[in-house]
Amino acid sequence: MVEFASSHATTKDMNSFESWMKQQGLSESSVKKYSSAVSGPLTSWANANTLFNGSLTDIEELMVFDELSSSIRNLPIFIERNTTGHGMYSAALIKFAEYLKLGNPSREQALLGEAIYPRSVSPHEAWSNTARRMVKTAQQTANASNGQEVLQTIKNKHNAFPSLEVFSQHVAELMERQKFCCAITGIPLHSDDLPSGDDEMRASLDRIDSNGHYEPDNLQVVCKFINRWKGAGQNAQFLSLMGTLRQHWGEGPVKKLI
């Protein structure tokens, strides 16, 4: 299992989380309580039960955190401590999820159409950076779902690539083969550094078979919103549904039925 945690990154991310909570008007005691819960016990429980390797504060994608959060909530130690703590750990998970959704600086920049990387970056570098970001998210997803049975079975999402660099190179080449368009809709993808980019159009790595692993023949790059819509559904079924939508919209504007 690859580790992303480092003391510098964790401190930086936690400071961002704490700053965001202060901006939301939380008291100093609440800020410390929630940040300590996420970086301390919640992280320790996730690590001890091999749900995740590293600090929870290293997670940058809301979808990854939501899945991990659900698994943590099913741990006996969480249920016990959350009850005696009057829901404090549950509240901390909710608050960090809100931060990832609303307060993550990289997300805010994307929503505002600002460049995440320097504007002097070349198109090749831009897509390479985008590929590395997707690979990091994929690795975090794999770390968070290793097939362990807690009170439910968590899908095993192993990474079959020998290194993150090889994985990133494969994803970059995959986007090029797709002509930098969504594999499902054909919509042009937005790289992370695009100044006028739309966060929902950002490139997102998808497993064709949601029950399969991160391996060469099971990957495609789609728009972020398409990945969210597809969820854990079957690729063929989703393609069929999208085809139905295309056919319907091709007949003219959608009519209200009510």
Least confident of 115-124, 135-144, 157-166: 115-124
Q: Which of the two residues, 189 and 253, has the higher pLDDT score? A: 189
94 falls within a domain: yes
d(CA 146, CA 167): 18
Residues 89 and 134 in one domain: no
Whether the Cβ atoms of residue 162 and residue 216 lie closer than 8 Å to each other: no
Residues 132 and 243 in one domain: yes
Q: Taking the mean position of all CA atoms in its chain, how far away is CA 170?
A: 19
- Angle at CA 246, nearest 5°, toward 171 and 217? 25
47 falls within a domain: yes
**The predicted structure's pLDDT at residue 153:** 40
The two tokens of residue 98 are 């809100």
229 falls within a domain: yes
6 falls within a domain: yes
Residues 156 and 192 in one domain: yes
- Angle at CA 111, nearest 5°, toward 106 and 115? 60
**The predicted structure's pLDDT at residue 121:** 56
Residues 68 and 21 in one domain: yes
Residues 74 and 164 in one domain: no
Range of the domain at 73: 1-103
Residues 97 and 194 in one domain: no
Residues 47 and 79 in one domain: yes
**The predicted structure's pLDDT at residue 252:** 53
* Tens digit of each residue's pLDDT (9 = 90 or more) over 55-114: 898 888 777 888 888 889 999 999 999 999 889 999 999 999 888 877 654 444 444 333
Least confident of 133-147, 167-181, 233-247: 133-147
**The predicted structure's pLDDT at residue 7:** 38
CATH number at residue 173: 3.30.40.220
Residues 244 and 127 in one domain: yes
> Is the pLDDT score of 116 beyond 60?
no
Whether the Cβ atoms of residue 167 and residue 161 lie closer than 8 Å to each other: yes
Give the domain-ending residue among 76, 103, 130.
103
- At residue 153, the 3 state secondary structure works out as strand
User: In the chain, pLDDT over 90 holds for what percent of residues?
Assistant: 26
Residues 152 and 231 in one domain: yes
The two tokens of residue 226 are 């398409």
Residues 96 and 127 in one domain: no
**The predicted structure's pLDDT at residue 174:** 92
Name the β-bridge partners of 20: none
110 falls within a domain: no
236 falls within a domain: yes
> Is the pLDDT score of 258 beyond 90?
no
Q: Which of the two residues, 145 and 81, has the higher pLDDT score? A: 81
DSSP labels, 48-66:
HTTS-SS-GGG---HHHHH
**The predicted structure's pLDDT at residue 35:** 93
Q: Which of the two residues, 117 and 214, has the higher pLDDT score? A: 214
> Is the pLDDT score of 195 beyond 50?
yes
Residues 179 and 68 in one domain: no
Whether the Cβ atoms of residue 10 and residue 92 lie closer than 8 Å to each other: no
256 falls within a domain: no
Binning pLDDT at 50, 70 and 90, where does residue 164 land?
Answer: confident
Mean pLDDT of 202-216: 89
pTM: 0.51
Give the domain-ending residue among 103, 137, 152.
103
- Helix 164-177 / helix 123-144 crossing angle, nearest 10 deg: 120
**The predicted structure's pLDDT at residue 157:** 65
Residues 220 and 171 in one domain: yes
**The predicted structure's pLDDT at residue 144:** 62
Give the number of domains in the chain. Answer: 2
